[in-house]
Structure 1
Amino acid sequence: MKILKVSIIIIIFLVGASALILYSFYEYNNKEEKTLTTVNRKNIEGSFIKLSNGVTHYQLEGPANGEVVILVHGFSVPYYIWDGTYEFLVKNGYKVLRYDMYGRGYSDRPDVAYDKELYNTQLLDLISGLKLQGHVNLAGISFGGQMITNFTCQHPGLINKVILIDPAYENEKPVAPKYFTLFNEAVNSDQRAWGQLDDFLYPRKHPEWVKRYLPQMRYKGFRNALVSTMYDYDQNGRQSNTCLNSTNKPVLLIWGKKDKTVPFRFSDSIRSVLKVDFFPVDDAAHLPSIEKPDTVNNKILSFLKQG
């Protein structure tokens, strides 16, 4: 009996000690130490608008009567991913909008499911709230390409042309329970930040990339937004692209030939069901608009001017 009691005490002690170690490890690595507020946003470049699910950070420039182009970023890098392309299109007479999706950058992090409805509603609210006139052109990179594909299927009457840059194809949900993935994101936050360099073919050419990524990680809700998207954003690549094809919108598909994030071979899967103007980019990985800006931006401009 004494041996049993001692064994139970030892087990309880080990469980408690393990829990304490895990908690300490979590707190040490957890970067989410602030709540995003108006004060935090005071000196942030860009503008803010209150939408149905929270405040959205955006930038909108160009002539009042200019043709509208909306730039949608990827899974976790906020709207600065469009640096260069944004300025280029404004310079060429377009009215250009870029924004941070909920949970990213300096937009709110609502405690909701990050599913198709949330992302589509945010974009629809922006178009309405900013009173963008006429049919808009949508450009999406990586996850943003996936998102605008689904948005166009849901709201084809609002859209003129679609531009997809290395678009995400399938969402494979993690097999682990959500709480485990949340913990993993917390204790491996540095890996999440430094992993963004994998999107480049020549990461050494972008020494400031990780530094620019880190500030958004300090605000509570960033990690939850990413993890919820992993679990709650349902996506069937073939089905979505078949749907986009049925809308009969002109589509430009741009892809870096050396992409390892969303491998180049997925371009074949998309083109098997979606009619596109296909533009493969040599010597570029997942972000050809950054690695080959002149080549990609001029192609985008040419595509927008057609017809």
Structure 2
Amino acid sequence: MKILKLSFITLLFLLAAAAIVLTVVYKGKDKEKKDLTDKERKATTGQYIKLSQGITHYQLTGPDTGKVVILIHGFSVPYFIWDGTYEYLVKKGFKVLRYDMYGRGYSDRPDVVYNQDLYNNQLLELIKQLHLKTPVSIAGVSFGGGVVVNFTCKHPDLVSKAIMIDPIYLNMKPAAPTFYLHYYEATHGDERANGQLSDFKYPKRHPDWVNQYLVQMQYEGFRNALISTMFNYNYIAKESLSCLNSVHKPVLLIWGKEDHTVPFTYSDSVRSVLKVDFFPVDDAAHLPFIEQPDKVNAKIADFLKI
């Protein structure tokens, strides 16, 4: 009995020690040290608006007479991903809106389920509260492409044209449990930030990309937004694309031929379901509008003008 008791006490001690070590690692590695407050936002550019689920960071520029274009970023890189395209379209006379989705950039990180309704409603409220002239054209990259598809299906009367750039295709739901992902994301923040460079064919050409990305990771709620989205967005590509096809909107599909994030071969799967104007891009990976801006931005503008 003494041996069993000693073994039990030893086991408890080891478990307690392991818990302490894991907690210390978690606290030390976790980048989410700040609350996103009005004081933090004062040092930023762009504009802010209060929506039903919190404050949204956005930028809206261009003449009132210009056609409205909304740019939707991907899974975790906020609206700075559109810098070049935004400036190009404004110069071409479009009225352009870009914004940070909930949980990203300088937008609030509400403690809610990050599902299709949340993202659709954020975009719907922006269109209404900013009094944008509808129908609008919307463009989305990667995860944002899925948002474009689902929003257009749900609100076809508000959308004139849709653009998808290297859009998501497979469901994002992880096999690992949420508690594990929360710990892993907290202790491997640099891995997520540095991993963003894999979206480029030539990552060395973007030396400031990781530092720009890291800024949003210091605010509480970023990690939860990503994980909740993975588990709850439930994007079913064929079903969603079939729905988009049924509302008969002009669709431009752009894809970098050397994309390893969402492989180029998925463009065939998309086109088997959805009628599109297809624009494959040579010498580019997941973000062709950044790596081949002259070609891609000109194509986008031409598509929107027609």
Calculate the TM-score normalised by the size of structure 2: 0.99
What's the secondary structure of 1:40's corresponding residue?
A: helix
User: Residue in 1 aligned with 2:102?
Assistant: 102
Give CA deviations for 1:97-116 in whole Å, capped at 9, x if unaligned: 00000000000000000000
Rounded to whole Å, the distance in 2 between the matches of 1:109 and 1:262 is 26
Partners of 1:97 and 1:184 lie apart in 2 by 34
Q: Which residues of 2 match residues 224-239 of structure 1 at below 5 A?
A: 224-239=224-239
Aligned to 2:193, the other structure's residue is in SS state helix
* Amino acid of the structure 1 residue aligned with 2:99: Y
Counterparts of 1:18 and 1:136, CA distance in 2: 54
Deviations 1:255-292 (A, max 9, x none): 00000000001000000010000000000000000000
Aligned mates of 1:237, 1:130 — CA distance in 2: 30
Identity of aligned residues (%): 63
**Shift, 1:56, TM fit:** 0.1
1:151 correspondence with 2:151 = yes
In the TM superposition, residue 170 of structure 1 has moved relative to its aligned partner by 1.7
Matched, 1:22 2:40: no
In structure 2, list runs of 5 or more residues that go unmatched.
none
1:43: how far off? 1.5
Quote the residue 2:142 is aligned against.
142
Distance 1:65 1:172 in 2: 39
Query: Which stretch of the first structure deviates more once superposed, 75-84 or 174-183?
Result: 174-183
1:14-53 matched pairs, under 5 angstroms: 14-53=14-53
Aligned-partner SS, 1:249:
coil
Task: After TM superposition, give the deviation of residue 175 of structure 1 in Å.
Answer: 1.1
**What corresponds to 2:161 in structure 1?**
161
Instruction: Provide runs of 4+ in structure 1 moved above 2 Å.
Output: none
CA apart distance, 1:305: 1.3
Taking the aligned partners of 1:135 and 1:172, their CA distance within structure 2 comes to 30
Helix, strand or coil at the partner of 2:56: strand
Q: Distance in 1 between matches of 2:247 and 2:210?
A: 38
Considering only aligned residues, what root-mean-square deviation do their CA atoms show, in Å?
0.6
The superposition leaves residues 150-209 of structure 1 with CA deviations (integer Å, 9 ceiling, x where unpaired) of: 000000000000010000112231111111111111111000000000000000010010
The residue that corresponds to 1:11 in the other structure is 11
Q: Give the Cα separation in 2 of the matches to 1:63 and 1:54.
A: 27
- SS of equivalent to 1:218: coil
Alpha-carbon deviation of 1:65? 2.1
Amino acid in the other structure paired with 2:290: I
In the alignment, the residues of structure 1 paired with residue 120 and residue 206 of structure 2 have an alpha-carbon distance, to the nearest angstrom, of 31
Which consecutive residues of structure 1, in runs of 5 or more, have no partner in the other structure? none
